[in-house]
Amino acid sequence: MADIRALIVDDESLARERVRTLLAEAPGVALLGECSGGREAVEAILEQSPDLVFLDVQMPDLDGFQVLEAVGDDRLPAIVFVTAYDEYALRAFEVHALDYLLKPIEPERFARTLARVRETLGDKGDRRLESLLDALPLDRLVIRTRGKVFFLKPSEIDWIEADGKHAKLHTGKETHVVRQQLQRLEPRLAPHGFVRVHRSAIVNVDRIKELEPWFHGEYVVILKDGTKLTSSAAHSEALHRIIDASK
């Protein structure tokens, strides 16, 4: 298994040293570097693309949450917050952090966090394969589940819905989750006959059974399996074009 590439971000040198020492005792983790501030962290994340960031919450320039916002959802690595305060825990999990460590960090607790990280990230080789396929024309989607990797053709997908930083692919009675957002999938699926009907939904046109006119130019989109989706006014133009093309 390839090393997990990690970055430490904390304005306190002793806190960085503690995480660095614990990582030195952990197999399979390579330390890319350390940052003492939020702005420096944003630059490092964008330039080095780490797999994992140990991120302090309170820093003098940008706090941990501002760092995540500045990096953007599409570039975010796995995040483990490290802080002396427990008041940010709920917000940390709202932004899909993998864990929330309180200072001073106990070795046993740190070990459990790394186990969770490894389980979530899986084999780095699989992640590199996914990145490679992301750069190619989309004739397959990479699905990772239960430690396995398999491929899904766009023609097998009925529709896709947004789920935070992930997307849910609906294929018949099955649902698969991929760590990609709709704005990344939409342009790659468009050549395969997919249209966006709502900010949180993309539909395979071949699966549309019926369009019922709704208010203000919107439609109720009824799929062949009975699924009903409501288009938004902002995304109904694509449906208008489909109707016009069929005349």
Contacts 24+ apart (CB under 8 A), 172-175: 172/225
* Cα(23)–Cα(53) distance, integer angstroms: 12
Q: What is the pLDDT of residue 237?
A: 76
Q: Where is average pLDDT lowest: 79-88, 134-143, 187-196, 234-243? A: 134-143
With a cut of 80, say whether residue 151 has pLDDT above it: no
Residue with tokens 């239960």: 146
Secondary structure element (H or E) that encloses residue 148, with its range: strand 148-152
- 149/84 same-domain check: no
- 112/135 same-domain check: no
With a cut of 70, say whether residue 2 has pLDDT above it: no
With a cut of 80, say whether residue 243 has pLDDT above it: no
Q: What is the pTM of this model?
A: 0.53
Dump pLDDT digits (tens) for 155-207: 999 999 998 778 889 999 888 887 778 888 888 888 898 999 988 999 999 99
- Mean pLDDT on 197-221: 88
Q: Please name which of 73, 57, 76, 77 lies closest in space to residue 65, comparing C-alpha atoms.
A: 57
- 118/76 same-domain check: yes
With a cut of 70, say whether residue 52 has pLDDT above it: yes
- 67/177 same-domain check: no
Q: What is the pLDDT of residue 59?
A: 93
Q: How far is CA 22 from CA 18, 87, 111, 144, in A?
A: 6, 24, 9, 29
Specify the 3-state DSSP secondary structure of 241.
helix
Which residues are within 8 A (CB) of 112 and not within 5 positions of it... i.e. 6 or more apart?
none
- 104/155 same-domain check: no
With a cut of 70, say whether residue 132 has pLDDT above it: no
Q: What is the DSSP letter of 105?
A: P
Specify the 3-state DSSP secondary structure of 165.
coil
- 98/184 same-domain check: no
- 100/170 same-domain check: no
- Mean pLDDT on 225-247: 79
- 82/177 same-domain check: no
CATH number of the domain enclosing 11 = 3.40.50.2300
CATH number of the domain enclosing 182 = 2.40.50.1020
**Last residue within a domain, chosen from 122, 151, 172:** 122
With a cut of 90, say whether residue 140 has pLDDT above it: no
Q: CB–CB of 196/179 below 8 Å?
A: no
DSSP annotation string for 111-128: HHHHHHHHHHH--HHHHH
- 13/78 same-domain check: yes
**Last residue within a domain, chosen from 67, 89, 122:** 122
Phi and psi at residue 193, to the nearest 5° = 85, 30
- 135/117 same-domain check: no
Domain count, the chain: 2
- 132/218 same-domain check: yes
Specify the 3-state DSSP secondary structure of 188.
helix
- 96/136 same-domain check: no
Q: What is the pLDDT of residue 122?
A: 65
Domain that holds residue 215: 127-245
Q: Across the chain, what does the average pLDDT equal? A: 84
Confidence of residue 123 (pLDDT cuts 50, 70, 90): very low
**Last residue within a domain, chosen from 84, 101, 122:** 122
Helices (H), the chain: 13-24, 38-48, 64-71, 89-94, 107-121, 124-134, 182-189, 237-245
According to the per-residue pLDDT averaged within each range, which of 93-97, 144-148, 168-172 is highest?
168-172
> By CB neighbour count within 10 A (0-12 exposed, 13-18 middle, 19+ buried), where does 173 fall?
exposed
